[in-house]
Structure 1
Amino acid sequence: MKILHTSDWHLGQSFFTKSRKDEHQAFITWLLELVSTEQIDAIIIAGDVFDTGSPPSYARELYNQFVVDLQKLNCFLVVLGGNHDSVSTLNESRQILACLNTVVVASTGIDSDKQIFSLPNQNGDIGAILCAVPFIRPRDVLQSQAGETGLQKRQALGEAIACHYQQLFYLAKIRKKELGIDVPIIATGHLTALGVSQSDSVRDIYIGTLDGFAADGFPPADYIALGHIHKPQIVAKSEHIRYSGSPIPLSFDELGTQKQVILVQFEGAQLESLIPIAIPNFQPMAVLKGDLAKIEQDLEQYRGIENDKTVWLCVEVDTQDYLSDLQQRVQTLAEGINVEILQLRRTRNQRRQLLSQQQAETLSELSPQEVFEKRLEMEDFVTEDDRERRKRICGSFQQILSEVKHLGADE
């Protein structure tokens, strides 16, 4: 039995106003070729198929066409809901996709026995039993109790998630015994396991409720396919508990990590091999760091290079002075070079320096407006979206300040 584990496609993502459509299409084409070459029996997408609950039409088209093309290769597909996915969006095509060798489990708010599936191999025989666990919303597994402290709520949620896993694993063992076959039991998940390394593009999913799920809460499944963390990694030094990571870089800080899918191969019920397969880079991207002279020097490596694709850049400038025209200076350095600066920021050391320079100032010496403006100076608003966000922030601040002054006058 050959299974490909992938996750966090985030179809429809807008990356600093840039569409990822071409990258996702290239990845899907590559994936289909891999399925054909390796004769893959099943694919598991462990959550976050889409980037938002209301994905653009082209993202839905990519998803639907992938299912159709995969069905032609006699490969079974399992799609699990993530925290970015809308339950209703995934469910709207669930019954149709069931006719195309595809199982969709959008949430845990269904009967437990409907989260246990038999995965067929290409011969049509049962090759594995799957405990299909998508992103777990607290309301689906837990009833809050009045008077609970924050710690008690976190503990209760962690215990409820562990209980859900154990219940499904118990049902999977019963199913395996009834079938009388020697096949592996596979579990999935879309959550943050304790001790993993996150990236800028990962948004916390249990904010204020559960920081991370302890690995000892997972059942003793033969393989556990996880999603939500975009950097591929092994959990709790357990080779069989893994994050596959996202197929394309979803933030600039993911560039240092090789993107991959994981080929999981079983011989009977025994895990025979776990092979990470590197995904090609479909869009040139880079991060440049240093002072303006270093940035200018680094930009020269892209001058004169004939490439159909423009290189997307994050430029992090280290400068001792606050430069109000930093954006214009950097753009001038990049003129005539096939690059596009999507993100421009000052180094964090510079931000700390700005804070240290202001340590002599106390709040009593500054007006609320001055405090706000000093904090605003520490941010970089480069793109049009950034500038619109700045306007919204300023507008909200002025409204709050006006309301506070009005309340003070009434008192």
Structure 2
Amino acid sequence: MKIIHTSDWHLGQHFMGKSRELEHQAFLAWLLDQIKIHEVNALIVAGDIFDTGTPPSYARKLYNDFIVALLPLGCQLVIIGGNHDSVATLHESRELLCCLNCLVVGGIRENLAEQIHILHDKQGQPGAILCAVPYLRPQELVTSQAGENSDDKAQGLSQAIKQHYTNLYDLACEKRQELGKNLPIIGTGHLMVLGGQSSESVRDIYIGTLEGFPAQAFPPMDYLALGHLHRGQIAGKQDHIRYSGSPIPLSFDETKQIKQVLLVEANPNQPIEIKSLSIPIFRKLATIRGKISEIESQFKTFTQSEMLDSSLKPSWLEVEIQDNDYLNNIQSQLQPLWENYPVEVLRIKRLQQNIPELRRELKESLSELTVEEVFQRRLQLETFEDDTEQEQLTQLFKEIITTLSEET
């Protein structure tokens, strides 16, 4: 039983006024090729199919065309709703898509048994049992009670999420016993797991109530296909709980990530095998940063490197100016640099270290700041050679906080 796990397509996204249509077209064509090459039996898209609840017509066309192109390959398609998706939009064609070997679960069902489905192998026999869990909206799971504080609400929501997964897992075990085969149980989800690495394009889900869900609270499924975080990663140090990440960079801070889909091989009485399939770079995105005097040399280095070697032109750049002095007409000063190159600068930012403001903030009482705010302000005083070092420190800090919270 071969499954490809992907998520966070965000069809219809406009990136600083630019359409991602061509990049998404290229990705979907590549994905169809991978399904053919690896003889994949099921494709799971773990949420955020669209960027908004009312996607533009071209995004809907990409979605529909892909489903039609997938049908002759005999690969089952599972569409899971994310926090960016509208349940109504996904479900408007659910019955029709069911006839095209496509299962759509945009929101939780009153009858939980409707979220349990059989995935079939290439012989048409049951190959795995799917617990199809979409983005769980708080209003669908819990009811606010008078006198509850934020901690009470967070605990109640976390418990409700845990109970939903447990109930579905129990139903899947019953189905497995009914079939008389030791089939692997595959789960899905679209949520933030504690300790996960986020990016600036990821929208908070449970604002003010639940920072994240502990990986240890999931039932013992054989594989859990997650969406929401755009960086592919293992969740909670448990190898079978994975975020596939988004197929294209959705913000400039994602440009150093290797984009992927995950090829999962699940067979009865055998351990799950997981392989990452790297997605080609269809359009280059990059950030050039430094003082105004350094930007020209960095731009020349960029244009002479392989960074421009992508299928779609022009490449898109972000320029970060790190001068503290006031600079007039930055755009006109830098414009001649890229006029003759296949690049387009989408944003120019000025990053100033406002020392008096930092000093004022550091005088605040610790009781007014969270642990995370103190850590982030300390990071602002450091100079890093690249984003990787800062990301590693942030990840280590989150792991320490998670461990301490669990011990408490």
Is contact 1:302–1:339 with CA below 8 Å preserved after alignment?
no
Identity score, percent:
50
Q: What is the match of residue 345 of structure 2?
A: 341
Q: CA deviation at 1:190?
A: 0.2
Larger mean Cα displacement after TM superposition, 294-303 or 181-190: 294-303
Matched to 2:155, the amino acid is Q
**CA RMSD of superposed structures (Å):** 1.8
Q: Counterparts of 1:21 and 1:161 in 2: how far apart (Å)?
A: 35
Matched to 1:152, the amino acid is D
Q: CA deviation at 1:7?
A: 0.2
TM-score, with length taken from structure 2: 0.84
Is contact 1:135–1:191 with CA below 8 Å preserved after alignment?
yes
Matched to 2:174, the amino acid is I
1:189-204 equivalences under 5 Å are 189-204=189-204
Matched to 1:66, the amino acid is F
3-state secondary structure, aligned to 2:70? helix
Residue 43 in 1 paired to residue 55 in 2?
Answer: no
Q: CA deviation at 1:260?
A: 0.2
C-alpha distance after superposition, 1:270-289 (max 9, x if no partner): 23411011000000111111
Q: Counterparts of 1:216 and 1:112 in 2: how far apart (Å)?
A: 22
Q: CA deviation at 1:341?
A: 0.7
Which sections of structure 2, spanning at least 5 residues, go unmatched? 362-408
Residue 214 in 1 paired to residue 214 in 2?
Answer: yes
Is contact 2:127–2:267 with CA below 8 Å preserved after alignment?
no
Aligned length: 357
Q: Counterparts of 1:244 and 1:45 in 2: how far apart (Å)?
A: 9
3-state secondary structure, aligned to 2:262? strand
Is contact 1:302–1:338 with CA below 8 Å preserved after alignment?
no
1:245-394 equivalences under 5 Å are 245-301=245-301, 309-347=313-351, 350-353=352-355, 355=357
Q: What is the match of residue 185 of structure 2?
A: 185
Q: Counterparts of 1:265 and 1:357 in 2: how far apart (Å)?
A: 54
1:218-233 equivalences under 5 Å are 218-233=218-233
3-state secondary structure, aligned to 1:229? coil
Is contact 2:154–2:209 with CA below 8 Å preserved after alignment?
yes
Q: What is the match of residue 375 of structure 1?
A: none
Q: Counterparts of 1:306 and 1:36 in 2: how far apart (Å)?
A: 26
Larger mean Cα displacement after TM superposition, 193-202 or 291-300: 291-300
Matched to 1:284, the amino acid is K
Q: Counterparts of 1:57 and 1:64 in 2: how far apart (Å)?
A: 10
Matched to 1:327, the amino acid is Q
Q: What is the match of residue 381 of structure 1?
A: none
Q: Counterparts of 1:320 and 1:183 in 2: how far apart (Å)?
A: 61
3-state secondary structure, aligned to 2:53? coil
Q: Counterparts of 2:357 and 2:327 in 1: how far apart (Å)?
A: 16
3-state secondary structure, aligned to 2:354? helix
Q: CA deviation at 1:343?
A: 1.7
Q: What is the match of residue 141 of structure 1?
A: 141
Which sections of structure 1, spanning at least 5 residues, go unmatched? 360-411
Matched to 1:334, the amino acid is W
3-state secondary structure, aligned to 1:140? helix
Distance 1:341 1:271, change over 3 A: same
TM-score, with length taken from structure 1: 0.84
Q: Counterparts of 2:356 and 2:332 in 1: how far apart (Å)?
A: 21
Matched to 1:49, the amino acid is I
Is contact 2:288–2:295 with CA below 8 Å preserved after alignment?
yes
